[in-house]
Amino acid sequence: MSEKTFEITNMTKGKLPRLPFIDMKEEILGKKYNLSLVIIGDTRSQSLNKKYRGKNKPANILSFPLSSNDGEIFINSRKVVRDARRDGSSTKKMLGFLFIHGLLHLEGMPHGSKMEAKERAFQKKFRI
């Protein structure tokens, strides 16, 4: 029996749009990378953002590398909806983009033009 390498925990009452989460995770981080994706709301997001980044506001996504082969991503579903509306996008596209963004951070990529180019390429590949 093999170990779980990807787990999604939805701590909100909302349903998640269908996205190829496993395929995206495996493409960017590999099959052996252990990833936990946790869907949270504004309160938990703000608390984590304040504790770990010193910012007292809800974040849309927070990525935490735990080791070279393990990490966690927290996505704030309420902020995803607000950001999608603001950008004239769908919730599904915004969630997919943020997941890719978090995966690239776990891979060690900092913000910048190289990251943005990779994000666009993965959005295209996964039709997001």
Q: pLDDT by residue (tens digit) across 63-111?
A: 999 999 999 999 999 999 999 999 999 999 999 999 999 999 999 999 9
Roughly what angle, to the nearest 10 degrees, separates helices 77-87 and 91-106? 120
How many domains would you assign to the chain?
1
Of residues 10 and 1, which shows the higher confidence score?
10
Domain range holding 96? 6-125
**What is the pLDDT, as a whole number, of residue 14?**
87
SS3 of residue 6 by DSSP:
strand
Q: Token pair for residue 27?
A: 């493409």
pTM given for the model:
0.94
The CATH number linked to 98 is: 3.40.390.30
> Is 1 contained in some domain?
no
28 pLDDT more than 70:
yes
**What is the pLDDT, as a whole number, of residue 3?**
64
115 pLDDT more than 60:
yes
12 pLDDT more than 50:
yes
Strand-pair partners of 125: none
> Is 23 contained in some domain?
yes
29 pLDDT more than 50:
yes
pLDDT bin (cut points 50, 70, 90) of residue 128 is: very high
Residue with tokens 């990378």, as numbered in its chain: 33
Residue 12 to residue 101: CA distance in whole angstroms:
21
- At a CB cut-off of 8 Å and minimum separation 6, what does 69 contact? 32, 33, 34
Residue 87 to residue 82: CA distance in whole angstroms:
9
Decide: 103 and 25 in contact? Cβ < 8 Å: yes
> Is 115 contained in some domain?
yes
Amino acid making up residue 82? R
